[in-house]
Each structure stands twice: as C-alpha cells, then as structure tokens.
C-alpha cells in the first residue's frame, strides 16, 4: 500500500473517531445538566443503577436532546445530512415505519401465542394498572405507551443505526462495523440497567444486528428498523402493563427467559433470528435495492 494512501486512511480514521467522540460528548454536555436538574427537583437519588420507577423520568429528557446533539454534530462536525443517517423524512421512511411496526407487533403476538399454546405462559387477562392514590384504572399509562415507544425507538435508531453507522462505515469492513455497532447498542443499556442487565447483552446484540439488517433492507432508511424496534417494545410493554400473561411454574427458563428479561430466553432469540432471516429473504426478491444509503 502506498505511504500516501495509508496516511490518508489513518487521517480519515482519526477524524471520524474524533467526530463520533465529539457527538457523544455533545449529547452528554447538553443532556446531563437537564437530567441532573430533574433528578434534583424530583428528589431522585443519584444511584447506579437508576431505580426502575425513576428511569423513564430521566431517560425521556436525555433522549429528547439527542436530536439536538445530532444536529450540532451534523452541522459543525461530520457535515452529513439527515438523509445520510437514514432519517430524512419521506414517504419511504413512513411506509417502512408502518411495515416495521406491524412486523414487530405480529412477532411478539406470535411469540406470546406460541408460549401460551405450549403451556409455558398462563393467560391472566387484561388488568389495567391503577392510578396512584386511587382505585381508578390508569388509562393514561396505557395510552402513553404508543407515543413513548415510538419516541424511544426513533432516538435509539437515529443514534445507533444512524449516526454511529455513518461514522464507522469509512473505518471498518461491513461485518466489523455491524459487530461494533451491535455491541455498543447492547452495552449502552447497562448505563440504565446496571449489572442486572448483563444476561440480556447477547440478546440485545442480536437485536441490534437485526435492526441493522432492517436498515440495509430498507435501502438505508431508518423506517423499517424504527418501526420494528418500536413495535417490539410497544407489544412487550403492553403485555407487561396489562398483566396479560405470567410464566407457568413448569416453564423452562432457558426458553421463556428470566423475569422482566425476555431477551434471556431462547424463544425471543429465535424470534429475532427469524425476523432477521426473513428481512434478508425479502431483500433477495427485489422489493427494493438494499444498502445503507
């Protein structure tokens, strides 16, 4: 390899590493003070990991500032466009999101239905959570699930399958980039879940890989991965919020997963794998030209 070419690649590598570091630093710098102010105002103890009851209250404002960090990074750092991240608003994006959401929803329905049929889950029926201090059903919690999961899914796809992928593509071969992006996505959940989230890391890494395949199948758009991600977490959150099922005493833990950790079970991992293979299969029949844009 000529010395000039090698030096050029090394310079590109240094620049992109700096830009990605700069993005995450920007996000922390603008998001952390707001998060700490909310924690102080609501008297939330700053312990690690964050208590589940306080997680959303701190996560929402921090995630809400992510697009601001992306815009600053895009404008003053990478020079990329929102379309480069797969986030350019278009009919393709919205159609992909609808298709992905439906696929994610149907996948979880099939997962829960299959476990019910095998006797590994027991049906409890819908039971609405109660509003604090009352005996009235908390309909607001249920109604908030859809916009909340769409929001979380959008931000995480923008960051991990958008900004991170765009920054690493010039540095790494496709497979290595996919491994790094999926690993970072999985490990990032430990920031909120703490050591208790370690058993879910393999499942989260597989989930990240499937979502990256979804972006590739969608021709670089974040539509399908956004919808798929949101559909999965919406369906799981709805099942949990309404207390629809409970594991049967004889259910194999290795298959249904640990309590509140569905990605530790073989059934959920199988669903992810089947979804990924199905998406790849769709790309082979010429639905549209695959790629990352």
Task: Give yes or no for residue 6 having a pLDDT over 60.
Answer: no
Of the candidates 79, 108, 128, which is a domain's last residue? 79
pLDDT of residue 134: 58
Considering its fold, how many domains does the chain have in total?
A: 2
Q: Do 132 and 242 reside in the same domain of the chain?
A: yes
pLDDT of residue 133: 59
Distance CA 54, CA 10 (A): 43
pLDDT of residue 285: 78
Q: Do 63 and 91 reside in the same domain of the chain?
A: no
Instruction: Give the model's confidence band at 234: pLDDT under 50 very low, under 70 low, under 90 confident, else very high.
Output: very high
Q: Say which DSSP state 51 is in.
A: P
Of 293 and 217, the structure prediction assigns the larger pLDDT to 217
pLDDT of residue 40: 94
Tokens 């006797």 identify what position? 119
Which residues, other chains included, contact 158 with Cβ-Cβ below 8 Å and sequence gap of 6+?
A: 66, 67, 70, 85, 87, 222
Task: Give yes or no for residue 55 having a pLDDT over 60.
Answer: yes
Q: Do 275 and 170 reside in the same domain of the chain?
A: yes
Instruction: Give the pair of three-digit tokens for residue 65.
Output: 């500032």
Q: Do 247 and 227 reside in the same domain of the chain?
A: yes
CA-closest candidate to residue 222, choices 150, 151, 154: 154
Q: Do 204 and 144 reside in the same domain of the chain?
A: yes
Instruction: Give the pair of three-digit tokens for residue 235.
Output: 């369906």
Q: Do 168 and 72 reside in the same domain of the chain?
A: no
pLDDT of residue 125: 79
Convert the pLDDT of each residue in 255-288 to its tens digit: 999 988 999 999 999 999 999 999 998 888 765 6
pLDDT of residue 14: 43
Convert the pLDDT of each residue in 157-168 to its tens digit: 999 999 999 999
Q: Classify residue 293: in a domain, yes or no.
A: no
Q: Do 200 and 59 reside in the same domain of the chain?
A: no
Weakest mean pLDDT among 119-128, 233-242, 253-262? 119-128
- Three-state secondary structure call for residue 7: helix
Of the candidates 79, 98, 126, which is a domain's last residue? 79
Q: Do 129 and 142 reside in the same domain of the chain?
A: yes
Distance CA 204, CA 259 (A): 16
Q: Do 191 and 156 reside in the same domain of the chain?
A: yes
Instruction: Give the pair of three-digit tokens for residue 174.
Output: 């496709």
Instruction: Give the model's confidence band at 138: pLDDT under 50 very low, under 70 low, under 90 confident, else very high.
Output: low
Q: Do 41 and 178 reside in the same domain of the chain?
A: no
pTM assigned to the model: 0.89
pLDDT of residue 11: 41
CA-closest candidate to residue 62, choices 17, 18, 26, 86: 26
Instruction: Provide the residue range defining the domain that includes 48.
Output: 1-79
Q: Do 133 and 174 reside in the same domain of the chain?
A: yes
């Amino acid at each position: 390899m000529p010395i000039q070419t090698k030096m050029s690649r090394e310079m590109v590598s240094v620049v992109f590493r700096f830009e990605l570091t700069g993005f995450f630093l920007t996000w922390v710098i603008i998001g952390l003070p707001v998060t700490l102010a909310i924690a102080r105002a609501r008297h939330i103890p700053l312990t690690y990991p964050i208590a589940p009851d306080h997680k959303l209250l701190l996560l929402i404002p921090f995630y809400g500032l992510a697009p601001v960090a992306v815009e600053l990074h895009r404008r003053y750092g990478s020079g990329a466009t929102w379309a480069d991240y797969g986030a350019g608003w278009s009919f393709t994006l919205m159609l992909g999101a609808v298709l992905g959401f439906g696929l994610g929803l149907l996948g979880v329905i099939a997962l829960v239905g299959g476990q019910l049929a095998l006797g590994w889950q027991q049906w409890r029926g819908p039971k609405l959570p109660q509003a604090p201090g009352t005996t009235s059903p908390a309909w607001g919690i249920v109604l908030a699930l859809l916009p909340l999961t769409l929001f979380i899914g959008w931000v995480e796809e923008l960051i991990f399958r958008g900004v991170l992928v765009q920054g690493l593509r010039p540095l790494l071969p496709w497979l290595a980039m996919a491994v790094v992006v999926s690993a970072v996505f999985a490990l990032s959940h430990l920031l909120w879940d703490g050591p208790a989230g370690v058993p879910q890391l393999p499942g989260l890494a597989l989930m990240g890989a499937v979502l990256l395949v979804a972006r590739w199948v969608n021709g670089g758009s974040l539509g399908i991965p956004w919808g798929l991600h949101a559909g999965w977490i919406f369906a799981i959150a709805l099942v949990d919020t309404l207390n629809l099922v409970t594991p049967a005493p004889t259910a194999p833990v290795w298959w249904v997963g640990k309590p509140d950790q569905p990605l530790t079970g073989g059934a959920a991992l199988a669903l992810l794998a089947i979804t990924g293979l199905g998406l790849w299969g769709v790309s082979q029949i010429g639905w549209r030209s695959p790629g990352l844009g």
